[in-house]
Amino acid sequence: EAQVTQNPRYLITVTGKKLTVTCSQNMNHEYMSWYRQDPGLGLRQIYYSMNVEVTDKGDVPEGYKVSRKEKRNFPLILESPSPNQTSLYFCASSLSLGRVIYNSPLHFGNGTRLTVT
């Protein structure tokens, strides 16, 4: 089954304790992206990757890191989490956003609810 898999689904941590949220896709997609979703603010892009070893900042990259060492995985790293990073996080992938492909939009994972105390 074609899917984007995020882990963990729920995570509670304390300020300053490094964490990683994993994301994996099995569709051989070139493009992957991380979003955070907050009440009243909608989906905001954190980082994205057009292909292996190519990553770029989105709209809200501060406090986050990513890596794309292989095509299927795109982990999100919080080196020193803070309470304002409490949010619902989504990983997404697409065949390619370098060229918009009709009927091939973003596929999303089921989300990671992160709470930083």
Partner 1 sequence: GESVGLHLPTLSVQEGDNSIINCAYSNSASDYFIWYKQESGKGPQFIIDIRSNMDKRQGQRVTVLLNKTVKHLSLQIAATQPGDSAVYFCAEIYKAAGNKLTFGGGTRVLVKP
Residue 82 interacts with partner 1 (CB under 8 A): yes or no: no
Can you tell me which of 65, 71, 72, 113 binds partner 1, judged by CB under 8 A? Answer: 113
Q: Are 33 and 107 spatial neighbours (Cβ–Cβ below 8 Å)?
A: no
DSSP letter string over 99-113? S--TT---EE---EE
Can you tell me which of 4, 21, 60, 78 binds partner 1, judged by CB under 8 A? Answer: 4
Q: Are 55 and 69 spatial neighbours (Cβ–Cβ below 8 Å)?
A: no
Residues with Cβ within 8 Å of 108's Cβ and at least 6 positions away in sequence, in order, are: 4, 90, 91, 92
Residue 92 interacts with partner 1 (CB under 8 A): yes or no: yes
CB of 18 to partner 1, least distance (A): 24
Residue 42 interacts with partner 1 (CB under 8 A): yes or no: yes
Binding site for partner 1 (CB under 8 A): 4, 37, 39-40, 42-43, 45, 88, 90, 92, 97-100, 102-103, 105-111, 113
